[in-house]
């Protein structure tokens, strides 16, 4: 009798809706979820078609997308080309949605029928081109109903997943540099470059080069940028182990938006990977020096932001937050401190913005694939 009662009790428990949600980020299946993927491509095409530079983005409750660039960490790219339906164009400027719109307009391409056929390749300062990759490889796109592009694949995530990501990054302290020596001013950088003899006359100024050179004096560090090192035997690419370094610190510098900052995190992760592969957790930097850093410092410069970051939920890039959380955990296991320094242009509003109302997420019926990922991937 007791066994029968226990079985009935167990069955009732199984049928009861659980109040606990495990974090889930599930890739959609190309065949099983083909209809949903088609809808997501339509949403992406609509977002690109309607995009205006003045549009503001929210964290997860409105569509937002950012160009991520290539995942191979090398020097900054100098050119890129877009191809679609046998038409192509090459650009020597910032890779963004407005340029993509220009390409589609000039080539008379319908974004809705050709969204899957858009490919991009990037040329680095070395003159090497990356292979053509689909547009989705370069985009971060998040929908209002918790679908997103992750590493070029369409995925579904639940509330617990996004909450887990935020909970992870909220443990990472950051500093806002408003009036400090790390402030970012393009006019001052041009003056510095001219006085230092490193200025180059060109339409698109290499502000990151100038900023790294200026930081060399401010931080009493050695500038590594843009000197690339061979990654390891058997790998064909070269990478920058950092932008600047001291005997105990590695500095990673990026100017742009949060999605651009993801490349700095990738750079730091790649350096950490190489350190782990060494016998004494060391890294070779400029001029063959071998150092064992105790701290990774990310100096992240907002190029167009108008308000300071008061909390991590102010950051509008899911990809950046996921990568940053992973880097923090990996560095902690290696006994290395992570330090985040936010910098802004001079027209930043120093007033802390009013905290937004708690975000309400609409959870759709999840895809049929019930695999669980218990932590951000």
The more confidently predicted of residues 284 and 124 is 284
Question: Is 334 in the same domain as 192?
Answer: yes
Q: Let me know if residue 75 belongs to a domain.
A: yes
- Alpha-helical runs (H) found in the chain: 2-15, 34-50, 97-106, 111-114, 159-169, 186-196, 207-218, 258-277, 318-333
The more confidently predicted of residues 203 and 297 is 297
Residue 159's alpha-carbon distances to 21, 65, 68, 259, 321, in angstroms, are: 8, 19, 24, 21, 15
C-alpha–C-alpha distance, residues 315 and 58, integer Å:
9
Question: Is 210 in the same domain as 232?
Answer: yes
The more confidently predicted of residues 19 and 64 is 19
Q: How confident is the model at residue 358 (pLDDT cuts 50, 70, 90)?
A: very low
Q: Residue 202 above 90 pLDDT?
A: no
Q: Give mean pLDDT, residues 344-366.
A: 44
Question: Is 210 in the same domain as 288?
Answer: yes
Question: Is 182 in the same domain as 211?
Answer: yes
Domain count, the chain: 2
Q: Let me know if residue 273 belongs to a domain.
A: yes
Q: Residue 375 above 90 pLDDT?
A: no
Question: Is 338 in the same domain as 215?
Answer: yes
| φ/ψ of residue 72, rounded to 5 | -80, 120
Do residues 293 and 305 lie in contact, with contact meaning Cβ atoms separated by under 8 Å?
no
> The tokens 């069955």 sit on which residue?
11
Do residues 321 and 327 lie in contact, with contact meaning Cβ atoms separated by under 8 Å?
no
Given 157, 186, 210, the domain boundary residue is 157
C-alpha–C-alpha distance, residues 162 and 141, integer Å:
14
Question: Is 66 in the same domain as 193?
Answer: no
Question: Is 185 in the same domain as 316?
Answer: yes
Q: Let me know if residue 239 belongs to a domain.
A: yes
- Interval 153-199: pLDDT, tens: 899 988 888 888 889 999 999 999 987 788 888 888 999 999 999 98
pLDDT above 70 as % of the chain:
74
C-alpha–C-alpha distance, residues 122 and 133, integer Å:
9
Q: Let me know if residue 371 belongs to a domain.
A: no
- Tokens read off for 6: 């226990």
Q: Let me know if residue 300 belongs to a domain.
A: yes
pTM metric for this prediction: 0.70
State residue 67's pLDDT score.
36
Q: Give mean pLDDT, residues 146-151.
A: 83
- Tokens read off for 17: 């809706």
State residue 91's pLDDT score.
86
Question: Is 148 in the same domain as 217?
Answer: no
Nearest to 26 by CA among 373, 325, 374: 373
Q: Let me know if residue 364 belongs to a domain.
A: no
Q: Give mean pLDDT, residues 207-228.
A: 89
C-alpha–C-alpha distance, residues 345 and 11, integer Å:
61
Q: Let me know if residue 361 belongs to a domain.
A: no
Given 157, 179, 202, the domain boundary residue is 157
Of the listed ranges 3-17, 99-113, 143-157, 256-270, the least confidently predicted one is 3-17
Question: Is 282 in the same domain as 209?
Answer: yes
The set of residues, in sequence order, having a beta carbon less than 8 Å from that of 175 and lying 6+ positions away, is 339, 340, 341, 342
Question: Is 185 in the same domain as 311?
Answer: yes
- Interval 11-52: pLDDT, tens: 665 555 545 456 788 999 999 999 999 999 999 998 888 877
Would you give the distance in Å from CA 297 to the centre of its chain? 16
Q: Which structural domain range is residue 334 located in?
A: 168-344
Q: Residue 124 above 80 pLDDT?
A: no
Q: Residue 360 above 60 pLDDT?
A: no
Q: How confident is the model at residue 145 (pLDDT cuts 50, 70, 90)?
A: confident
Question: Is 136 in the same domain as 179?
Answer: no
State residue 366's pLDDT score.
30
Given 102, 131, 157, the domain boundary residue is 157
Q: Let me know if residue 83 belongs to a domain.
A: yes
Question: Is 227 in the same domain as 280?
Answer: yes
Q: How confident is the model at residue 303 (pLDDT cuts 50, 70, 90)?
A: confident
- Interval 318-336: pLDDT, tens: 778 888 999 999 999 999 9
DSSP 3-state of 138 = helix
């Amino acid at each position: 009798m007791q066994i029968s009662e226990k079985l009935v009790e167990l069955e009732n428990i199984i049928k009861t809706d659980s109040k606990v949600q495990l974090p889930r980020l599930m890739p959609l299946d190309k065949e099983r979820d083909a209809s949903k993927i088609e809808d997501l491509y339509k949403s992406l095409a609509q977002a690109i078609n309607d995009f205006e530079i003045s549009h503001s983005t929210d964290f997860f409750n409105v569509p937002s997308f950012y160009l991520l660039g290539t995942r191979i960490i090398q020097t900054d790219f100098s050119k890129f080309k877009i191809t679609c339906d046998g038409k192509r164009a090459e650009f020597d400027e910032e890779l963004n949605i407005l340029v993509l719109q220009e390409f589609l307009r000039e080539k008379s391409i319908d974004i809705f029928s050709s969204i899957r056929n858009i490919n991009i390749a990037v040329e680095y300062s070395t003159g090497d081109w990356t292979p053509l990759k689909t547009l989705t490889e370069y985009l971060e796109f998040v929908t209002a109903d918790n679908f997103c592009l992750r590493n070029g694949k369409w995925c579904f995530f639940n509330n617990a997943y996004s909450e887990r990501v935020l909970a992870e990054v909220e443990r990472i302290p950051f500093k806002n540099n408003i009036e400090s020596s790390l402030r970012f001013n393009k006019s001052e950088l041009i003056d510095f470059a001219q006085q230092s003899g490193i200025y180059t006359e060109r339409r698109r100024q290499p502000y990151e080069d100038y900023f790294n050179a200026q930081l060399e004096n401010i931080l009493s560090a050695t500038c590594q940028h843009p000197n690339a090192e061979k990654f390891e035997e058997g790998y064909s690419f070269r990478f920058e182990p950092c932008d600047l370094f001291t005997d105990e610190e590695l500095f990673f510098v990026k100017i742009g938006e949060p999605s651009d900052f993801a490349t700095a995190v990738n750079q730091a992760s790649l350096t950490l990977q190489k350190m782990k592969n060494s016998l004494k957790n060391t890294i070779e930097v400029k001029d063959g020096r071998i150092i064992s850093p105790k701290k990774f410092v990310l100096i992240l410069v907002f190029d167009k932001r108008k308000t300071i970051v008061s909390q991590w939920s102010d950051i509008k890039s899911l990809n950046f937050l996921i990568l940053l959380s992973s880097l923090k955990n990996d560095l902690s296991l290696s006994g290395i401190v992570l330090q985040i320094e936010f910098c802004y242009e001079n027209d930043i509003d120093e007033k802390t913005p009013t905290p937004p109302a708690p975000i309400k997420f609409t959870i759709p019926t999840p895809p049929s694939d019930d695999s669980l990922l218990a932590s951000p991937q």
